Amino acid sequence: TDPENSLLTQEPEQETIQDSDSSESVSTIDSAVMQLAKAESDEMELVLYSKTGMGDGQQASNPWLQEFPDPITRVSWDNYVTISKKDANSLGLINENVANGGLDGSYAKLTVNGTSIDKVPVIIQPGQAAGTLGLSFGYGKKAGMKTEMQTGVNAYTLYQGFKNIQSVTIEKSSGNHEFACVQLHKTLMGRGDIIKETTLEIFNTKDHSEWNHVPQVSLNHQEVDATSVDLWDSFDRSIGHHFNMSIDLNACTGCGACVIACHAENNVPVVGKQEVRKSRDMHWLRIDRYYSSEDTFEDDNIKKDEFSGAMESKRGFEEMEIAAVNPQVAFQPVMCQHCNHAPCETVCPVAATTHSRQGQNHMAYNRCVGTRYCANNCPYKVRRFNWFLTNNNDEFDYHFNNDLGKMVINPDVTVRSRGVIEKCSLCIQMTQKTILDAKREGRVIKDGEFQTACSNACSSGAIVFGDSNDKESEVVELKKSDRMYHLLESVGTKPNVFYHVKVRNTNEA
């Protein structure tokens, strides 16, 4: 080998980027990105990828992963080809929300080097580049799989030459596919009090009252902060432990590890594709995903505020449900907010849901008669009604229906029966064990010992759980932050779960 031509012996032209050359290097990168963006080809480009939940399919027989909604598309129990809205329109491919509350989509036929897969469901994906398609591995497995678990199409047949990017042709197939999608709305439609966010520049230069505005309510015909008004007399929170949970929207990546951890810890049942399609999924913890309909979420709020007139507002909101071509994306974990003034508790006719001194909103399952008044009165929609007995039921042939599968059941948590409401308990079995262990050992509980399944599983540190009566705890410090806010503060529920405003660094230079 000629050493002068060897890549191993050549001196790099720029081994490191010096500070003086940084702007020049950024400019070079920017121009390269622009050239890639303008690149055109007669063929479509297929990207084969591993889903966040399912991976490469080695765990395809795991019902938790099958029922886990994809963080971006919010579809479970399926893989599909993702396509841009522009390409979908040109090919006549559609997604539509049907009258029964489900999502339907077209089928497509994909062909790579003479190898074809027909009847691949289509998802129109906001933000996807025109001329590209996406298809995930991990599905279409038949051997050794229960009938209920044999879902999706096998993308490995298109994985040729060990390349995950292939040139592909796509054409529309006949028929419509029924998706099990848990979130049909795509945007916030200007509801800035659900996910609050700001830019780094505003965060550093403006007072927090401008970028983390507290909603106003009317009290004695005067506008006051919603957080200053109590609907009922407050509980005495100073005795013993009082649990709070912090969720940082900056840190959440939507990975869903918390969702699966919650399933495993709390014996949350798997209900299958058809029940998920009917909005009967049992997830105690969901991760809402929102796209912006304008360039930014702030532009969404401005557009909403500019509406005037009933018909103009109607047309405007319909437009705002359409995501931007290159949208911003935000993820928000939502579980029971364990409100100190919980609307669910006041409407239960049998006192099945009550408040504890430790801040949790409890459920007495053997007292619940299934009126579902609590679910109707919950502004966060986090309560789940158990329509079926999934334990020892052949109609739900998942892990609750055989001796091997039942080995994953947590003996510290009851398996709920048909006809009751269930929800997040802030993993009370874990907090009680921590208290009893410390009592048995005769010591004080240290900060960080209190955990829930979701806070334990969160690898990015977005979820922090702790005792708000421990003044040295991390959760107390987080609650003092200017970024802290509660979900739907204007409702006056006084939750024990709080969020942190998302801050975006929009100065890319």
Residues 86 and 177 in one domain: yes
Stretch 264-277: mean pLDDT, rounded? Answer: 89
Task: Specify the number of domains making up the chain.
Answer: 2
Contact 103, 95 (CB under 8 A): yes
At 302, list the tokens: 């401005």
At 210, list the tokens: 């401008």
Residues 452 and 382 in one domain: yes
Residues 339 and 482 in one domain: yes
Residues 161 and 224 in one domain: no
Which range, 27-41, 156-170, 388-402, is most confident?
156-170
C-alpha 304/C-alpha 286 separation (Å) is: 26
Residues 169 and 224 in one domain: no
Residues 100 and 239 in one domain: no
**pLDDT > 90 fraction of the chain, expressed in percent and rounded:** 33
At 383, list the tokens: 């309560």
In a domain, 188, yes or no: no
How would residue 4 be classed by pLDDT, with cut points 50, 70 and 90?
very low
C-alpha 322/C-alpha 185 separation (Å) is: 9
Q: pLDDT tens, 398-457?
A: 777 777 878 888 899 988 888 999 999 999 999 999 999 999 999 988 888 899 999 999
Q: Specify which residues 105 forms β-bridges with.
A: 95, 177
Q: pLDDT tens, 138-162?
A: 888 888 788 888 888 888 888 888 8
- pLDDT of 9 reads 33
Higher pLDDT, 435 or 40: 435
- pLDDT of 1 reads 39
Q: pLDDT tens, 318-373?
A: 888 888 888 889 999 999 999 988 999 999 999 999 998 888 999 999 999 999 99
Q: How many residues does the chain have?
A: 509
Residues 333 and 220 in one domain: yes
Q: What is the CATH number of the domain that holds 140?
A: 2.40.40.20
Residues 312 and 371 in one domain: yes
Stretch 197-206: mean pLDDT, rounded? Answer: 88
At position 155, the amino acid (one-letter code) is A
Residues 109 and 205 in one domain: no
C-alpha 164/C-alpha 119 separation (Å) is: 21
Q: Quick check: 33 pLDDT over 70?
A: no
152, 181, 210: which is the final residue of a domain?
Answer: 181
Supply the mean pLDDT for the chain: 84
Q: Which candidate, 252, 310, 261, 312, places its Cα nearest to that of 283?
A: 261
Q: Quick check: 236 pLDDT over 80?
A: no
Phi, psi of 300 (to 5 degrees): -60, -50
Residues 171 and 299 in one domain: no
Element (H, E) at 431: helix 428-441
CA distances from 16 to 12, 23, 29, 92, 509 (A): 9, 14, 15, 49, 19
How would residue 208 be classed by pLDDT, with cut points 50, 70 and 90?
confident
C-alpha 440/C-alpha 438 separation (Å) is: 5
C-alpha 337/C-alpha 486 separation (Å) is: 9
**pLDDT > 70 fraction of the chain, expressed in percent and rounded:** 90
Rounded to 5°, angle at Cα 97 from 94 and 100:
140
Q: At what angle do helices 297-305 and 310-320 cross, to 10 degrees?
A: 170
How would residue 397 be classed by pLDDT, with cut points 50, 70 and 90?
confident
In a domain, 93, yes or no: yes
Residues 126 and 208 in one domain: no
List b or e across 49-59, with b for residues whose CB sees 16 or more CB atoms inside 10 angstroms.
eebbbbeebee
Residues 356 and 402 in one domain: yes
Q: Quick check: 30 pLDDT over 70?
A: no
The parent domain of residue 439 ranges over 197-504
